[in-house]
Amino acid sequence: MTAATYQYVDLPDASVVTTRALLTARENITDTVAARAMMCIHGGAGFGKTLAVNTCLRELEPGEDVRKITFRPRPTARAVRYELFTALDLAGEPPRHPSEFDRLLKTALAERPRTFLVDEAQWLNGEAFEYFRYLWDEPSTQLAIIFVGGEGCHTVLRREPMLSSRIFIWQHFTRLTPSEVLEAIPLFHPIWADATPTTSPSPTATPHTATSAPGPS
Ligand SMILES: Nc1ncnc2c1ncn2[C@@H]1O[C@H](COP(=O)(O)OP(=O)(O)OP(=O)(O)O)[C@@H](O)[C@H]1O
Ligand SMILES: [Mg+2]
């Protein structure tokens, strides 16, 4: 998938804009993966977290084995095991007993270094986060984990001292500033390439307005 087509909206010719947050995410993700560490990217809805993380992780592939995992609300440790089984493309039937399941996952994760992208992590409760910590702490696994989610993700993670003390980098996504909106809009779509700041959207526009431009007409 090219950067230009990696948009959830079907907007021909739209591009990924290298915002300040995206640049910081690139550095943070590269450092986290190199250190086989865990990081947390959090911030408001539509601020560009998912797009930034996917863009940066794609740049690390195929050298890095990246697995994306998205959960339904409040999954149990059992549901986490099943999602990981699927995300890792493991063959056969998932084991019935938790200890057997844990052994299988740990063996698979010991095979080679991997990166988990856990998006919508605000849905995870303490039990689910704890299961990731358990796998990450296992000496034979070589895991990097990137938790991405709304503000709730930060709150839940902070409540779990065993996990939050192990988070290598916290990155908070914030709204684009008015001057960032003016810089981003001409880069986002050719229709605005020659726009001057006076003809650009209002500097008070939200990031959502800034990045959900109407299609060329
Ligand atoms: N750097 C960027 N360049 C171009 N478009 C962007 C950029 N960041 C975000 N967008 C646009 O904004 C939309 C919303 O971004 P994204 O889905 O990454 O937000 P999010 O922070 O993950 O939101 P949520 O918390 O709801 O999951 C994207 O689908 C994309 O169209
Ligand atoms: Mg998202």
Q: What domains can you pick out in the chain, each with its CATH number? A: 20-173 (3.40.50.300)
- For the chain, the average pLDDT equals 87
**Alpha-carbon span 96 to 168, nearest angstrom:** 34
Rounded to the nearest angstrom, the distance between the alpha carbon of 139 and the centre of ligand 1 is: 35
Rounded to the nearest angstrom, the distance between the alpha carbon of 47 and the centre of ligand 1 is: 6
Which residues, 6 or more positions from 211, have their beta carbon under 8 angstroms from its beta carbon? Answer: 17, 46, 48, 184, 188
Is the C-beta atom of 7 inside 6 A of ligand 1? yes
Is the C-beta atom of 8 inside 6 A of ligand 1? yes
pLDDT score of 163: 87
Residue 217 has pLDDT above 70, yes or no: no
Q: Measured in whole angstroms, how far is the alpha carbon of residue 197 from the centre of its chain?
A: 32
Q: In the predicted model, what is the mean pLDDT of residues 169-182? A: 94
Is the C-beta atom of 115 inside 6 A of ligand 1? no
pLDDT score of 199: 52
Name the percent of the chain lying above pLDDT 70: 86
Atom of ligand 1 nearest to the CA of 51: 18
Q: Are 205 and 181 in contact (CB under 8 A)?
A: yes
Rounded to the nearest angstrom, the distance between the alpha carbon of 23 and the centre of ligand 1 is: 14
pLDDT score of 18: 95
- Give the confidence band of 6 by pLDDT, cuts at 50, 70, 90: low
pLDDT score of 198: 67
Residue 54 has pLDDT above 90, yes or no: yes
pLDDT score of 43: 96
Question: Each residue of 202-211: pLDDT tens digit?
Answer: 555 444 443 4
pLDDT score of 96: 92
- Give the confidence band of 145 by pLDDT, cuts at 50, 70, 90: very high
DSSP assignment string, 163-181: HHTTEEEEEEE-PPPHHHH
Q: In the predicted model, what is the mean pLDDT of residues 149-160? A: 88
